[in-house]
C-alpha cells in the first residue's frame, strides 16, 4: 500500500513548496512509493485528508495558520517541520521585535476606515502577537531547516519519515561543503555591509567579511560561498549553537575572524550586535536563539533603531 503524504503552507514565502517540486526525478522515484493527498502548490484540496506523513512549511503568524497546523497534526501520523520558517520562525520573525499592534498600524494606518470604523482588514486583524515556530503549537516529529532545504536533504528526510531508508542527516556546518580556505591574513579590515570579497579561494572571514557558514547547519551544500556570496545563515543555527547555551553567533564568528585577521574581536562583536536584525534574522523568533543567556536581541535591535 502506498504511503499517504500531505503538505501545508503557513506563513512563509512558498519557496519550500517549490523546492518539493524541484525534486525532479527524485520526486518521481518517491511517487512510486507515496500518494500525495494534499499539496497546495499542485492540487486544489481544501480539506485535511488522513496521511501517514505531513510536511509543514512556514511559521504560525495568524489564527488561520494555527488552525491549519492543528488540522495537520490531527490528520497526519508524523509531522515534518519543513524549512527554516517552520523550524525557527524564519525571516518574518523580525516582526517579533515590534509587536502586533505596531505592525498593523504601520501597514494599515493610512487606510480609509470601513463602516465599523476599522482601518485594518478583517483577516489581518487575526494576526498572532508574534511569529511562532510550529513546535510551540503542536508536537513535531522531525525538523529539516533550510531556506529552502536542498533537494538532496529533502529526499533523505522524506524517505526516512516514510520508513523507506534511514540515512543520518549530517550535523556539519556550511564550512564543511565550502571550497574556500580559512587562513591567517594581514592587513584585512572589517568590511561592513559587504557580502563578497576579492579572493575567490580564501574564506570570507580571512578577508574581513562576516560569513555565517561556521555557525550555520549545512542544508544547502554551501551554495552561497561557493558562488561568491557570504553565508547569511538561512538554514538556521549549527548543532553546537543549539546545544551550548553560552555559544552564540556574535561571539563565535568574532573570535574566529579575529584569530584569522588580527581585527580586534570587540570591533567585530560590536558590528554583529549593531546589525543583529541581519545576522540573527532567520531564528529571531525562536527561543533556540533569543533564549540564550548571552543574547539580548530585543535590546540590541532597540539600540540600533535609536
Is residue 95 part of the contact set for ligand SF4 (CB under 6 A)?
Answer: no
Size of the site for ligand SF4 (CB under 6 A): 35
Place of cell 522524506: 158
Q: Which is nearer to ligand SF4, 51 or 55 (CB)?
A: 55
CB 148 within 8 A of CB 18: yes
Chain residues 128-147 in contact with ligand SF4, contact rule CB under 6 A: 147
Region binding ligand SF4 by CB under 6 A among candidate stretches 12-20, 241-249, 267-275, 294-302: 12-20
**Nearest distance from residue 214's CB to ligand SF4, in Å?**
5
Q: Work out how close the CB of 163 gets to ligand SF4 at its nearest, in angstroms, rounded to a whole number.
A: 25
Residue 148 found at the interface with ligand SF4 (CB under 6 A): yes
Please, what's the b/e burial string for 178-205 (b: 16 or more CB within 10 A of its CB; e: otherwise)? bebebeebeebebbeeeeebeeeebbbb
**Contact call for residue 85 and ligand SF4 (CB under 6 A):** yes
Measure Cα distances from 151 to 132, 220, 236, 239, 284 in Å: 25, 9, 17, 21, 25
Q: How far apart are CA 32 and CA 200, in angstroms?
A: 42
- Whether 261 and 253 have beta carbons less than 8 Å apart is answered as no
Q: How far is the CB of 192 from ligand SF4 (least distance, A)?
A: 17
Decide: is 235 part of the binding site for ligand SF4 (CB under 6 A): yes
CA–CA gap between residue 114 and residue 119 (Å, rounded): 6
Residues that bind ligand SF4 (CB under 6 A): 12-13, 15-16, 57-58, 83-85, 90-91, 147-148, 174-175, 178, 180, 182, 203-205, 211, 213-214, 216, 220, 222-225, 231-235
Amino acid at each position: 500500500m502506498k504511503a499517504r503524504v500531505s503538505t501545508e503552507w503557513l506563513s512563509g514565502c512558498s519557496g519550500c513548496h517549490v523546492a518539493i517540486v524541484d525534486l525532479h526525478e527524485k520526486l518521481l522515484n518517491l511517487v512510486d512509493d507515496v500518494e500525495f493527498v494534499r499539496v497546495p502548490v499542485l492540487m486544489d484540496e481544501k480539506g485535511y485528508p488522513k496521511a501517514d506523513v505531513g510536511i509543514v512549511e512556514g511559521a504560525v503568524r495568524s489564527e488561520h495558520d494555527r488552525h491549519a497546523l492543528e488540522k495537520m497534526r490531527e490528520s497526519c501520523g508524523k509531522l515534518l517541520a519543513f524549512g527554516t520558517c517552520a523550524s525557527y520562525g524564519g525571516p518574518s520573525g523580525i516582526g517579533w521585535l515590534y509587536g502586533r499592534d505596531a505592525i498593523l498600524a504601520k501597514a494599515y494606518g493610512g487606510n480609509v476606515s470601513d463602516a465599523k470604523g476599522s482601518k485594518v482588514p478583517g483577516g489581518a486583524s487575526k494576526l498572532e502577537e508574534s511569529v511562532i515556530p510550529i513546535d510551540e503549537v503542536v508536537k513535531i516529529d522531525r525538523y529539516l531547516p533550510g531556506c529552502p532545504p536542498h533537494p538532496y536533504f529533502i529526499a533523505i528526510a522524506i524517505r526516512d519519515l516514510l520508513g523507506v531508508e534511514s540515512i543520518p542527516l549530517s550535523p556539519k556546518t556550511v564550512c564543511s561543503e565550502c571550497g574556500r580556505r580559512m587562513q591567517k591574513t594581514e592587513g584585512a579590515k572589517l568590511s561592513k555591509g559587504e557580502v563578497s570579497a576579492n579572493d575567490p579561494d580564501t574564506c570570507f572571514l580571512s578577508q574581513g567579511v562576516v560569513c555565517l557558514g561556521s555557525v550555520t547547519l549545512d542544508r544547502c551544500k554551501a551554495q552561497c560561498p561557493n558562488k561568491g556570496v557570504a553565508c547569511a545563515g538561512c538554514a538556521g543555527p549549527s548543532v553546537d549553537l543549539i546545544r551550548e547555551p553560552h555559544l552564540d553567533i556574535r561571539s563565535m564568528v568574532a573570535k574566529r575572524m579575529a584569530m584569522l585577521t588580527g581585527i580586534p574581536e570587540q570591533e567585530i562583536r560590536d558590528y554583529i550586535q549593531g546589525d543583529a536584525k541581519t545576522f540573527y534574522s532567520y531564528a529571531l523568533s525562536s527561543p533556540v536563539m533569543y533564549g540564550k543567556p548571552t543574547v539580548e536581541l530585543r535590546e540590541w535591535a532597540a539600540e540600533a533603531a535609536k
